[in-house]
Amino acid sequence: VIGKGIVRLDARRSDGTVFPVDLSLARAQSPAGEIYVAFLRDISDRVRNEAELKRARDRAIAGEKQKAELLAVMSHEMRTPLNGMLGTLELVDDKALDARHQRYLRIVRESGRILLRHVNDVLDISRLDAGKMTLRKTGFDLVSLLEDIVDNQRQHASARGNRLILVPPNPELHRVYGDPERLRQILLNLVGNALKFTRDGTVEIEAEYLDDARNELELRVIDSGIGIREEDLARIFRDFETLDSSYAREAGGTGLGLGIAQRFARLMGGSIGAESEPGEGSLFWVRLPLPQTARGATEDAPVSEVAELPQR
């Protein structure tokens, strides 16, 4: 141990008890000849504190795991009866009801759908955090996917007086390779959020390759809505964040959408971010490795991949 710096060892007291020490031993020359200089420090308190921190960390990790498992089980158990209830409601012949009962039925149906979306969000979060989410990569038509999203959200946009616009994408985006369903979920979350916080304005969707060599694709959702303060941009991707209670009451939601979008983007090997100014609208971008495929590749069989979500 001579000249090796600080070494942790066990020492023994005169009564025979063993305790941890830091030892530093050096050699030097003196007029009287060679000497050895040693520093010995009792680190019992530090070792005891470190052990307690490790135990606390292990308890926290175990608690988080149990919470994730509970959320996954409860979300699944809640989704099953919800699907049964919604399916039964669709069988009710509302034409046989008067106007008042038709309105009640619409409220029940819409409330059930909202609750099912919330349950699905929690289930997605728990599966992602547990590393149980898989990617199914295949060749697909990205332009058609974007057009489907616009068609799907057009009624939602019109209800708030908004125009939902797809900026004409490059024809090369007709043939890309990746997981279309995860990408669809990311974009639906971003477009849905943009429409929630925009009234009598516009929401645009853009897509283009940033670097052909790396096959990095950037998708942008740009709105003319209320915008986000700079100090809030750092936390909008946290779970259950709604920034302001008045926004939450007006727009609804659990605050999980952006957290799910971020997890999916990272699962696919990409990243997500936002730029905004209060009153000037927002720009959300997603950058993903989506290489182009040869003509006809969209008919290839999908390939399932188990992807481990990187630590945040």
Which pLDDT band holds residue 294 (cuts at 50, 70, 90)? low
Question: What angle in degrees, to the nearest 10, is found between the helix axes of 99-129 and 257-267?
Answer: 40
| 10 CA to centre of own chain | 46
Residue 187 to residue 221: CA distance in whole angstroms: 8
Contact in structure between 301 and 226 (CB atoms under 8 Å): no
Alpha carbon distance 107, 134 (integer Å): 35
Higher pLDDT, 211 or 16: 16
Per-residue pLDDT tens over the stretch 183-208: 998 998 899 889 988 999 999 999 99
Length in residues, the chain: 312
pLDDT of 32-67, one tens digit each? 889 998 999 999 999 999 999 999 999 988 887 777
Position 267 pLDDT exceeds 80: yes
Place of tokens 């063993």: 18
Residue 118: per-residue pLDDT: 74
CA dihedral (271, 272, 275, 281) in degrees, to 10, reads 160
Q: With 70 as the cut, is the pLDDT of residue 311 above it?
A: no
Q: What is the per-residue pLDDT across 130-150, written as a single tens digit (0 to 9) for each? A: 666 678 889 999 999 999 999
Q: What is the DSSP secondary structure assignment for residue 269, as one 8-state letter?
A: T
Q: What would the mean pLDDT of 286-305 be, rounded to a whole number?
A: 64
Residues 126, 67 contacting (CB under 8 angstroms): no
